[in-house]
Amino acid sequence: MNTSKVRVRFAPSPTGPLHMGGVRTALYNYLFAKKHGGDFLLRIEDTDQTRYVPGAETYILEALKWCGIEPNEGVGYGGDCAPYRQSERKPIYKDYALELVNKGWAYYAFDTPEELDTIRKQAEAAKMPNWQYNSISRMTMKNSLTLPADEVESRIQQGDPFVIRFKMPRNEEVRFQDIIRGWVVFSTNELDDKVLYKSDGMPTYHLANIVDDHTMSITHVIRGEEWLPSAPLHVMMYRAFEWEAPLFAHLPLILKPDGNGKLSKRDGDRLGFPVFPLEWKDPETGNISSGYREKGYLPKAFLNMLLLLGWAPSNNQEIFTLEEMIETFSLERIGKSGSKFDPEKTKWFNQQYLRNMPRRALAEMILPTAKERGYDVCVEYLEGVVELMLERAVFPLDLLEGTYLFEDPKSYDEEAVSKKWKKEESGQILLDWSIKLQSLETFNVESIDTAMKSFLAEKNLGMGQVMPLFRIALTGVLTGPGAAQVAALLGKEFVTPRIQKCIETLG
Ligand code: GLU
């Protein structure tokens, strides 16, 4: 395999629905891969069986598909490094753990969970919280560094449970250059001896992640900032294996809209916006969390919003096609500090994308819902609806908000009526106006406007005395698209009966 080719991976754990931060990580990986003609892999990191959530993996695949940022290799896509699900790679990890033991970079530890628990409690009681299994304490524990070799051998022979821990050296400096953060320096004294291989025969995240990144020829690890504390261990592990480490880029956090802390999975609906790309039903509780897709966000608008949540172009361009994203994206232009999520701006993006969609496509998009609502309409009519409603719409279904475009107004807005309807004259004015309308041969916005002008002149009336009445009669309200536009769309055969009905109702 050509190792100079860019290969990046998105490596979620199927512990629940994908958070929008996860989608952003996937997006940045995708863009980086495409920009450099590389590969974008999807690896499922499911070594922690206790946190496995049914449906999560399918959700991840569906979410990436909806967003249009599909991997070209990985779970669901296949490839030369298959399998890409870590639980299916289980047999390969043990040898790597043993390799580190043989090289003196790892050791067997036999301490039982109960023993570890007791030590932690004793340490707490002695006012030394955060006890760690590390380069100092390991010498007082039950492991292959402290027990005689023959005892270690016989324990393993007789099947005593053990874990394999990384032997973190003392007094060493770990440094690596993060593409986003620059030099990151850690002292090994701050790091503990992490478990690499568990007593159940499963690798931990750390071992599986490093082994897979290496065997899958990953060149760049682009992931969330929450993994930065693990990076020094990973760098040390590459050193121990004598493998070339990939380059790292740790993405800044996505913050709550008020900037107070990380935007978490729990924040979503609580703060009035989704945090998940797709709706999610918790298999255990049955609770539903809303999704961008179901709320009516267009996937491209969602991606565009995520693009700018952490990355910025050199100019102030805001709207990007996927091709433009690929062309302009660079890891160097990702900021170091967290980005506040802005739900209003997210709506704005949706609005922009909606406005740029072909009218016909929008009409087709809302047709099924229109039918469901019992409106007897065709797609051509809906194109007209789109034309009238687009200006104010944020979501596709907002286009159906003017129910008066589909049925007679059920009532007339009281405030509008009390302001504009004069008992003595309004009925007569409307009646005369409807007679004028009936006489029109062509019935479109232009002819209605012209008719209105001559009507006002003939009757010596002002626009403000007629237009609001016309609006009320057609729509029941004073807001929304212009009355002539509404009338032209409805057609003459619907307009005159509506005016008639209004006169009868309001007197
Ligand atoms: N499995 C980790 C996660 O759930 C992946 C971290 C990484 O990309 O190294 O985010």
In whole angstroms, how far apart are CA 170 and each of 139, 155, 167?
Answer: 13, 28, 9
Q: Are 176 and 151 found together in one domain?
A: yes
**Torsion over CA: 273, 276, 279, 284 (sign):** negative
Give the active site residues.
265
Based on the number of CB atoms within 10 Å of its own CB, is 126 exposed (0-12), middle (13-18) or buried (19 or more)?
exposed
Q: Render pLDDT for 195-241 as a digit per residue (tens, 0 to 9).
A: 999 999 999 999 999 999 999 999 999 999 999 999 999 999 999 99
The one-letter amino acid at 153:
E
**CA 207 distance to own-chain centroid:** 28
Residue 46 lies in a domain: yes
Tally of domains within the chain: 5
Specify the residue with its C-alpha closest to ligand 1, atom 5.
11
Residue 86 lies in a domain: no
Q: Are 274 and 325 found together in one domain?
A: yes
Average pLDDT over residues 11-40: 97
Q: Render pLDDT for 327-369 as a digit per residue (tens, 0 to 9).
A: 999 999 999 999 999 999 999 999 999 999 999 999 999 999 9
Structural domain for 330, as ranges: 265-354
**Predicted pLDDT at 2:** 42
Ligand 1 center to residue 396 CA distance, Å?
35
Q: How are beta strands 73-74 and 39-42 bridged, if at all?
A: parallel
Instruction: Map residue 142 onto helix, strand or coil.
Output: coil
Instruction: Map residue 39 onto helix, strand or coil.
Output: strand
Cβ 77 under 6 angstroms from ligand 1: no
46 contact partners, CB below 8 Å, separation of at least 6: 13, 14, 52, 57, 85, 86, 87
Residue 145 lies in a domain: yes
Ligand 1 center to residue 79 CA distance, Å?
20
Q: Are 38 and 61 found together in one domain?
A: yes
Q: Are 37 and 103 found together in one domain?
A: no
Q: Are 73 and 220 found together in one domain?
A: yes
Confidence of residue 267 (pLDDT cuts 50, 70, 90): confident
Report the candidate in 84, 59, 61 with the shortest Cα–Cα distance to residue 74. Answer: 84
Cβ 11 under 6 angstroms from ligand 1: yes
Helices 445-459 and 483-490: crossing angle, nearest 10°? 120
Q: Are 178 and 231 found together in one domain?
A: no
**Predicted pLDDT at 205:** 96
Q: Are 307 and 340 found together in one domain?
A: yes
Specify the residue with its C-alpha closest to ligand 1, atom 3.
12
Q: How are beta strands 7-10 and 39-42 bridged, if at all?
A: parallel
Cα(357)–Cα(225) distance, integer angstroms: 36
Region for residue 325 given its phi and psi (left: phi exceeds 0; alpha: psi -120 to 50; beta: otherwise): alpha
Which of 8, 28, 45 to mutate to test ligand 1, by most ligand atoms within 8 A of the CB atom?
Answer: 45
In the block, which residue shows the tokens 């055969």? Answer: 493
Report which secondary-structure segment, H or E, holds 247: strand 247-251
Residue 456 lies in a domain: yes
96 contact partners, CB below 8 Å, separation of at least 6: 203, 207, 211, 241
Q: Are 18 and 108 found together in one domain?
A: no
Residue 203 lies in a domain: no
Q: Are 473 and 390 found together in one domain?
A: no
Per the CB < 8 A criterion, the answer to whether 18 and 234 are in contact is no
Q: Are 286 and 366 found together in one domain?
A: no
Region for residue 429 given its phi and psi (left: phi exceeds 0; alpha: psi -120 to 50; beta: otherwise): alpha
Cβ 12 under 6 angstroms from ligand 1: yes
Report the candidate in 402, 406, 383 with the shortest Cα–Cα distance to residue 392. Answer: 402
DSSP state of 59: H
Give the ligand 1 atom nearest the CA of 22: 10
Residue 215 lies in a domain: yes
DSSP state of 338: -
pTM to 2 decimal places: 0.93
Report the candidate in 178, 338, 182 with the shortest Cα–Cα distance to residue 249. Answer: 178
Q: Are 55 and 103 found together in one domain?
A: no
- Is the pLDDT at 1 greater than 80, yes or no? no
Cβ 228 under 6 angstroms from ligand 1: no
**Predicted pLDDT at 124:** 94
